[in-house]
Each structure stands twice: as C-alpha cells, then as structure tokens.
Amino acid sequence: MATDSWALAVDEQEAAVKSMSSLQIKEEKVKADTNGVIKTNTTAEKTDEEEKEDRAAQSLLNKLIRSNLVDNTNQVEVLQRDPSSPLYSVKSFEELRLKPQLLQGVYAMGFNRPSKIQENALPMMLAEPPQNLIAQSQSGTGKTAAFVLAMLSRVEPADRYPQCLCLSPTYELALQTGKVIEQMGKFHPELKLAYAVRGNKLERGQKVSEQIVIGTPGTVLDWCSKLKFIDPKKIKVFVLDEADVMIATQGHQDQSIRIQRMLPRNCQMLLFSATFEDSVWKFAQKVVPDPNIIKLKREEETLDTIKQYYVLCNNREEKFQALCNLYGAITIAQAMVFCHDPQNSELAGSRALKGGPQVALLSGEMMVEQRAAVIERFREGKEKVLVTTNVCARGIDVEQVSVVINFDLPVDKDGNPDNETYLHRIGRTGRFGKRGLAVNMVDSKHSMNILNRIQEHFNKKIERLDTDDLDEIEKIAN
DNA sequence: AAAAAAG
C-alpha cells in the first residue's frame, strides 16, 4: 500500500470512496462569501479615548471579517494521520459546541461562519484526544483566529496558571496576536493573558497566574527555565505562529525547540504559517509527532492582487533618489519600506524621505516602548510610511497599507534570494481584496540576479517601472 | 542579515 499517494476528491463523498490510501486528502473549491459587512457605530460625540478604542476595534473587526471573504477560490488539502477517523468539516461555529462565552466572543468579533481553513482546522484542533496540526495558508485566511479559538476552548479559566502558550517571532506580532486573544476571550471575565515579551519584567520568585501566555522565544524560554515564572509541564496547547521561522535553523529554532522539549508529552502542538520552505516543512513533520496537515493551495494567487514592479538604479544613491520620487505616490494611502538592516532604514528615512512628518522608523534596535508606540501610530494612520527591516515582514496587519517597497531585496545570510520573506513582505499589502503595489529597487548586477531568481521562483513577471515618470506612478498607486 | 534574552 502506497502511504504517500494522496487520495484526491472534489467533495467528501468522493473522498470516502477513494479511501484506499492510508492517508486522505480532501480538495474542494469554494465560492466567495458575500455577506459579512460591518458598519461602524457613528452616534453621539465621543472622547478621544473612546474614538481610539472604536478605531482599534473596527480595524480588528475588518481584519477578522476578511477571513470570511478572501479565500474564494482556494483549494484545501487535508492530510489526516489517522485514516480511520472521519474527516469533519464544519460550516458553522455552533457545530463546534464551543463554550457559550467563547461563541459570544466569536460573534462579537464579526465572524459569521468559519473561513475555509477554519472549516477543517477547527474540528481537528478541538478533537479529543488532542491532535497536533501543521497548517499552511496565506495571510488573511483566518489562521490567527483559528489557533486563538483552539487555545480559548481548551483553557480552564478557574485554574490560575498558564495552560496555553503561543510563540511569535517578533514583539510587534506578539502584541497584535495578543489583542485578538483578548478580544475573543473577553466574555470570560476570569480569563487573563500574559505577554512574555522584552521589557515585561516580573518580581523574582513570582508565578504567572494568567491562563494564556503569548510571547517571543527568548523571554518565554527564560520564564519557563531560568526564572521559573511558568511551569511548562502544565501547558496543554503550544502554538507556533509563523512556524517556519520559529523552527528554521537561521530563525528561532534553538529557543523554540528548547521550549518544546520542556512541555509534557501530551501537549497539543499547533504550527501555522503562510510559507514552509521544503527543508523546514520536513523538519516540522519531524518535530511534531503524528500531525494532521492542512494546506491551502495556490499561494501564488495572492500575488495576483499585487502588482509587482522593479526600479532600475545604478547605485545606492540612485535608490534614495528613486524612493524620494515615489514619496508622493506612496503617501496616498500607507506604505512600508523594507531595508536590509536598521542602518539602511535610518538612511532611507532621513536621506530619501527627509525624515518627513509622515515617516516613521521601526527596527529591533529600538527600545520596546518606542516600538510599541511607532506601530500604534502607524496603525492609526498618523504615520504614512513605515521604514523598517524584516522585523515587520511577517504578520503585521495594517489595512491601509497599499504599497510595499523593497528598498533592499530580501536575501538570506548567504546572499541568496529569500523567497519566503519576499512573499511575506509583499503580503503586507493587497489584502481584503484590495489592490496592492510592490516596488523592488535594483541597484546592481547582483540584485538584478536576485530579482530574476525571485521571478522564476514565483513564475511571475515583475515589470520595470520608471520613477521619473510620475504620471505612471500616480496611475499605479491609485 | 534580522530577530530574539533578565544574557
């Protein structure tokens, strides 16, 4: 019997018929969901503070609504480790038999029905006994909400110690995901969330009493081992967001795996990411025992809503000039400019964008308080352009971002193209069905070569753009 | 190369 041949089917009936393989796959097409429009409540005058809260809530809502709308033609592949168990897929949240407070939280966030990935992932994640899951699907398909829901449904609010642990690759993403957890869990008054991130210090000997912990790898590792703020043996659900960077050798592998080893044997592991490079994918299957696997195929289709261009420059100086020429176009909405390192961000911000009032810098070198303030201002639209590094390449969700500029193309430490980071970076735009624009700056034979290899990898033409032709730029930006 | 630590 060939264990590696996946049975393909257009619907569940066919999948059942074709179950001769020990592994099952389900593939289906879905139609766009047309409902789910949410309106802002614009009644009487409100204080600044209230308005700020409203905006934050609205943006969170829009983000989550999106997961009900975006994945219109995607195909889902489901691979179950246990072929004898039926392949469940839910079309409503009621079918999941969630705690009433949690269901209330789900609906309060504007969810009407599960997104495509959630239809399959939720029953798998909530099954008893718990099963591990590795899931790949592009941004905006409801990954965050899916694993947040899994954590919230497993948690026992009466127990005052950490039971669910979620790791994020960056400080900013941990804050963002934490907000989703808080929102969705807000009808459980006794349920609390702790942020295990840089700058969040506890007294010696203190214990974390919050039931859910979101954090970055270094701090979480310290809290679990050296500082003993968390008893890792009591963790029931372990989530790796942006899982591929979390377990990649060049990423946070060391710390993530050390944390994983401290967890109990029966701890449920959930890995989510938009990208899994081949070797990382294999490693993921090695470190996660008996995983269920879900893939939302056709990741290249995300690129269809994003127009990609490149600008040819002769040297770095010309890149500054080109970026300067683009300023008018990119401030129509909001833009993110990605640089190779904090120094280049600094230069791009000061020299090309003149450190303008609309421009903000964000890099890992900065103090966390400052980082939190900058990302908050950018979310609120107080800054139009965020000049940053790979720290913001993944997961950061700011709806108004319509332009991504790769001031430096993404490369790994050997100087090879970093296709995964490229996809994540340009995925900061073109969301919610909106059009997005990505502009890549090329300034040498070497970087042209990198760009060509990125084109080949995604099999997508990246066209040349002349930054001296302002009419053309205006046209594209609109 | 960036990020990630109370080192």
Phi then psi for residue A405, to 5 deg, are: -115, 125
| Spatial distance from the CA of A200 to the C1' of B7 (Å) | 16
**Does the structure show a pLDDT above 50 at A32?**
no
d(CA A232, CA A211): 12
Which nucleotides of strand B come closer than 7 angstroms to any CB of the protein? 1-6
pLDDT tens for residues A184-213? 999 999 999 999 999 999 999 999 999 999
| Spatial distance from the CA of A65 to the C1' of B7 (Å) | 42
**Does the structure show a pLDDT above 70 at A223?**
yes
d(CA A408, CA A152): 40
Return the pLDDT at A53.
Answer: 58
Burial of A207 (0-12, 13-18, 19+ CB in 10 A): middle
Return the pLDDT at A242.
Answer: 97
Is the model more confident about A333 or about A406? A406
Amino acid at A222: D
d(CA A47, CA A49): 5
Is the model more confident about A172 or about A69? A172
Lowest mean pLDDT among A93-97, A151-155, A298-302, A431-435: A298-302
Phi then psi for residue A311, to 5 deg, are: -115, 125
Residues around strand B, C-beta < 7 Å: A 169-172, 197-204, 215-222, 227, 229, 245, 250-252, 255, 340-342, 363-365, 389-391, 411-413, 418, 421
Q: What is the arithmetic mean of pLDDT over A457-469?
A: 86
pLDDT tens for residues A124-136? 999 999 999 999 9
| Spatial distance from the CA of A166 to the C1' of B4 (Å) | 15
Alpha-carbon torsion, ordered A105, A111, A116, A118, to 10 deg: 0
Q: What is the DSSP letter of A109?
A: T
**Does the structure show a pLDDT above 70 at A60?**
no
Determine the length of chain A: 478
| Spatial distance from the CA of A139 to the C1' of B6 (Å) | 34
d(CA A374, CA A371): 5
pLDDT tens for residues A63-105? 444 433 444 456 788 988 887 777 889 999 999 999 999 999 9
| Spatial distance from the CA of A268 to the C1' of B4 (Å) | 24
pTM of the full structure: 0.84
| Spatial distance from the CA of A277 to the C1' of B2 (Å) | 18
**Does the structure show a pLDDT above 70 at A440?**
yes
**Does the structure show a pLDDT above 60 at A12?**
no
Q: A65: number of CA atoms within 13 Å, CB side? A: 17
Coil vs helix vs strand at A147: helix
**Does the structure show a pLDDT above 70 at A41?**
no
CA–CA distance from A293 to each of A51, A281, A316 (Å)? 42, 11, 44
Q: Which residue has the tokens 């994540």?
A: A424
pLDDT tens for residues A327-378? 887 777 899 999 999 999 999 998 877 767 789 999 999 999 999 999 999 9
d(CA A214, CA A256): 13
| Spatial distance from the CA of A368 to the C1' of B6 (Å) | 14
Residue nearest to nucleotide B2 (CA to C1'): A390
How many helices (DSSP H) and strands (DSSP E) are in chain A? 16, 15
**Strands, DSSP E only, in A198-346?**
212-215, 237-241, 268-273, 292-296, 306-312, 334-338
Residue nearest to nucleotide B1 (CA to C1'): A413
CA–CA distance from A256 to each of A19, A164, A233, A381 (Å)? 36, 15, 15, 34
Return the pLDDT at A226.
Answer: 95
**Does the structure show a pLDDT above 70 at A168?**
yes
CA–CA distance from A239 to each of A34, A165, A169, A470 (Å)? 31, 6, 12, 46
Among residues of chain A, what percentage have pLDDT more than 70?
80
Return the pLDDT at A464.
Answer: 94
C-alpha gyration radius of chain A: 22
Closest nucleotide to A413: CA versus each C1': B1
Burial of A227 (0-12, 13-18, 19+ CB in 10 A): middle
